[in-house]
Amino acid sequence: MDLKKIINKIQSLHPEFSYEEIEELCLEYLVQFSDKTKEATKEKSLKRYLSKEFWVEREETEQEESSDKKNSLASIPRYLFNYTNKKTADYIITIKGLYKQLWSTILFEDTDLRIKPQDKIALIGKNGAGKSTFLKILLNPALADKWEIEILKDLKIWFLSQDLFRESRERTVLEEMLTTFPEITKTVERLNEIKELLEKGEWDGIALLEEQSELIERMLMNEAYQKYDLQKEILKYFWFSNEQMNFKISQLSWGEQTKVQIAKFLIQDVDLLILDEPTNHLDIEWIMFVENFCKLWNKALICISHDRKFLESAFTKTIEIKNKKLNLYYCWYKDYLIEKKKNEEIYLKNYTAQQKYLQQQERFIERFRYKSTKASQVQSRIKMLDKMDKLAAPEEEIQTHAPNLQVKRRLPETLIKLSELSVWYWNKTLVSLPKELEITKAMRIGIIGKNWVWKTTLLKTILWEIKPLYWWIRIHEKISIWFYSQIADDLDFNATISEELIWPWVSHREMMAYLWALRIDQEKADQKIWLLSWWERSKVALAKMLLAHPDIVVMDEPTNHLDLSSKEAVKEMLEGFNGVSLIVSHDRDFLEATTEILRVIKEWKLTVFHSFDRWFNEIIN
């Protein structure tokens, strides 16, 4: 065993320790082994001990052997996913009598909730129900109008928002990570500064040595050296290279920025993690990464998502915001759908019975109010009704089947022919297609790939909105094509919904059928589009495309900004569509239901998979 080499390596990483101090520590550890223990075993055990004490990386040979294992979620130390001191608490948050009104809308009224230390909760509800508002109240209870909220002392809450690094986009990844423990980073910087001053000999050496000793003692007492090194090393588990650590945050993809956020809260002993649409803007591979992370997370977790596969994978409880209440279901999302239906039937039955009883009592009161012989009975019933806990009317669910989306004429066998097509930008080929490609009637094609592989550009090239580099494209002259963009850029924002959607061949009744299916009610129909929320505008743009009854439906991320019920309606319409569909999406449940052929952009080429399961298994492997 080359003990001198081991000590020198540690001293190079931690110069604040002398050679003799490290040697003494090593000898104290090695004394536990007998003479029969092999030298290789002693050396390996000593390195493990030192790596834990000083957060020293193992030898390069060991790193190479385990590099594939290390660069994965499964290799991250388990203690980072588990509780330290909060696990024995019955509840980390207790909410009683929550009331919140936003403008004229009451979002929550006298609702209660208790969150346990290891609850993994999916938070769902229609758009505008108050999901994001509830998360903000958890972070800042003062935002509620009335509340009684008990939060466990020293509870650490982290919010993974959709607005990533708004104020720190010009920092490098390493600079951002070093803000995780700012006081520790500041102390290490001061120690390095003291070391330089001592080497130069230009300052009061005694005062500097005293300060250095005090800072080192503080660092050792709080395991600060391990935490400082962990800030720099944790991203290696997330496939970040040394080169990427010097990238600016603004250079990273949405998925990479999400990983940086996850890495930061993972090493901070967070007790409750709050996720607001974490899969938005992520491709399928990144979505699966976040999904696997949530499965491993062994602490409290609350998440808003409209991705059904994601919800079904990791969350053991479901909260639905409905009737101004936080309705907690002690089951997975799939089971919640069954339980919800039963509860709604029971609630409606009880509400109907109570309304019938109230009407009977009110009729009695009105009939005998002025009759002296019945005065005491009337007063008794009035008092009884005043004290009665009355059930709120059930929130009206739009019970309607999705419209039948059908092509109204016979289509030719081949609708689009492509030959020698290459997608390009600034004289650079971005995507190469097969030499010959035909799109025939009733084809249902899903286009998938990582972010930034030019999926939208491919759609626009096929539709001739962007001129290809090399091409021969023939689109049948008698077919109609309609393109849906997630940014809703084809709407007239000064028009009302009705003005935008009613054409000579579209009746008001047909328009409302599509709007109802997308959960937009009659009251909104005469509202100006610029007054709508961004998710309502997306629904109007979607309805506009569907009302055109095109032969070919081309959709770019149609499920973004849709709540779960609206997504189900669009899915149902496209499942029965007898025309051609080309859909770019990262929503696995949506793709499985609406596509039969997958075109995958990989390594700048468009390849085909005739089975979603086959492609999915390849991604996993």
- 459 and 554 both lie in a single domain: yes
Its sign, for the CA torsion 163, 169, 173, 178, is negative
The pLDDT value recorded for residue 121 is 96
- What is the domain extent for residue 19? 3-65
pLDDT digits (tens, 9 = 90+) for 325-334: 999 999 999 9
**Nearest by Cα to 22 from 32, 12, 33:** 12
Question: What was the pLDDT predicted at 170?
Answer: 86
- Indicate if 179 and 237 belong to the same structural domain: yes
**CATH number for position 539:** 3.40.50.300
Pairing of strands 597-602, 473-475: unpaired
**What is the SS3 assignment for 61?**
helix
Statement to judge: residues 258 and 338 lie in one domain: no
Who wins on pLDDT, 172 or 18? 172
The whole-number pLDDT of residue 61 equals 35
- 604 in any annotated domain: yes
Taking the C-alpha atoms of residue 440 and residue 413, their distance in angstroms, rounded to an integer, is 6
- The pLDDT assigned to 470 comes to 64
* Residue 469 φ then ψ, to 5°: -75, -55
Tokens, residue 86? 């909060």
**pLDDT at site 65:** 38
State whether the Cα torsion 542-521-130-342 is positive or negative: negative
Residues 344 and 481 in one domain: no
pLDDT value of position 60: 39
Query: pTM surpassing 0.85?
Result: no
End-to-end CA distance of the chain: 40
For residue 53, count CB atoms less than 10 angstroms from its CB and return exposed for 0-12, middle for 13-18, buried for 19 or more: middle
H/E stretch holding 498 reads: helix 497-501
DSSP string, 10-52: HHHH-TTS-HHHHHHHHHHHHTTS-TTS-HHHHHHHHHHHHHH
> Which of 73-82, 232-241, 419-428, 546-555 is predicted least confidently?
419-428
Angstrom distance (rounded) from CA 57 to CA 63? 8
Which range (158-162, 219-223, 453-457, 466-470) has the least confidence?
Answer: 466-470
Tell me: do 418 and 383 sit in the same domain: no
Instruction: Say whether both 375 and 437 belong to one domain.
Output: no
Cα–Cα dist 597/604, whole Å: 19
The pLDDT score that the predictor gives to residue 40 is 82
**Residue 488 shares a structural domain with residue 421:** yes
Q: Are 542 and 589 found together in one domain? A: yes
443 occurs within a structural domain: yes
Residue with the bigger pLDDT between 322 and 85: it is 322
Q: Find out whether 231 and 148 touch, Cβ atoms under 8 Å.
A: no
Task: Confirm whether 114 is domain-assigned.
Answer: no
Over residues 105-124, the pLDDT tens digits come to 999 999 999 999 999 999 99
Q: Which strand (E) or helix (H) includes residue 120?
A: strand 120-124
| The residue to which tokens 């193992």 are assigned | 58
Q: Six-digit token pair at 474?
A: 């023939």
Of the CA atoms within 13 Å of residue 30, those in its CB half-sphere come to 19
DSSP state of 83: -
Higher pLDDT, 37 or 209: 209
Look at residue 64 in the predicted model and tell me its pLDDT.
37
Contact 482, 407 (CB under 8 A): no
Q: Indicate the residue type of 335.
A: D
Residue 55: its pLDDT value, please? Answer: 58
Task: Quote the pLDDT of residue 288.
Answer: 87
As a whole number, the mean pLDDT across the chain is: 85
- In whole angstroms, what is the distance from residue 319 CA to residue 115 CA? 11
* Cα dist from 572 to 127, 202, 441, 561, 593, whole Å: 19, 77, 19, 17, 8
Across 66-70, 137-141, 335-339, 418-422, least confident range:
66-70
- Predicted confidence band of residue 100 (pLDDT cuts 50, 70, 90): very high
Q: Say which residue, 9 or 123, is predicted with more confidence.
A: 123
Look at residue 80 and tell me whether its pLDDT is greater than 80.
yes
Among 369, 387, 405, the domain-final residue is 387
For residues 156 and 269, the answer to whether their CB atoms sit within 8 Å is: yes
- Please give the pLDDT value at position 471: 67
User: Left (φ > 0), alpha (ψ -120 to 50) or beta: where does 557 sit?
Assistant: left
Share of the chain above pLDDT 90, in %: 30
62 pLDDT exceeds 50? no
Looking at per-residue pLDDT, the higher value among 56 and 229 belongs to 229
Whether residue 95 is predicted with pLDDT greater than 90 in this model: the reply is yes
Domain's final residue, options 18, 39, 65: 65
- The answer as to whether 481 is a domain residue is yes
Give backbone dihedrals phi and psi of 304, rounded to 5 degrees, phi first.
-95, 130
Q: Residue 73 pLDDT more than 80? A: no
Q: Determine the Cα–Cα distance for residues 233 and 73; give it in Å rounded to an integer.
A: 14
Q: What per-residue confidence (pLDDT) applies to 59?
A: 42
Whether 67 has a pLDDT exceeding 60, the answer reads no
Residue where one domain finishes, among candidates 241, 268, 295: 268
Tens digits of per-residue pLDDT, 467-505?
Answer: 776 667 788 888 899 888 877 778 899 999 999 998 888
Residue 500 within any structural domain of the chain: yes
| Phi, psi for 390 (deg, rounded to 5) | -90, 135
pLDDT at 425: 66
Q: Are 311 and 333 in contact (CB under 8 A)?
A: yes
Question: Taking 70 as the threshold, does the pLDDT of residue 388 lie above it?
Answer: yes
- Helices (DSSP H) in 329-406: which residue ranges? 333-368, 375-387
Please tell me whether residues 368 and 472 are part of one structural domain. Answer: no
Give 357's pLDDT tier (boundaries 50, 70, 90).
Answer: very high
- Please check whether residue 262 is in contact with residue 83, taking contact to mean a CB–CB distance below 8 angstroms: no
211 and 339 in one domain? Answer: no
Per the domain annotation, does 466 fall within a domain?
yes
DSSP letter at 419 equals: E
Does any domain span residue 104? no
**Total structural domains within the chain:** 4
- Note whether 222 and 205 are within 8 A (CB): no
pLDDT at 69 over 80: no
Strand residue runs (E) in 184-307: 272-276, 300-304
pLDDT digits (tens, 9 = 90+) for 180-228: 999 999 999 999 998 888 888 767 788 888 898 999 988 888 888 888 9
Question: Is the domain of 468 the same as that of 602?
Answer: yes
133 falls within a domain: no
Residue 357 and residue 420 in one domain: no
Average pLDDT over residues 4-18: 80
Q: Is the pLDDT of residue 610 over 90?
A: no
Evaluate if residue 173 carries a pLDDT over 50.
yes
Contact (CB, 8 A) for 326 and 319: yes
458 — pLDDT class (breaks 50, 70, 90): confident
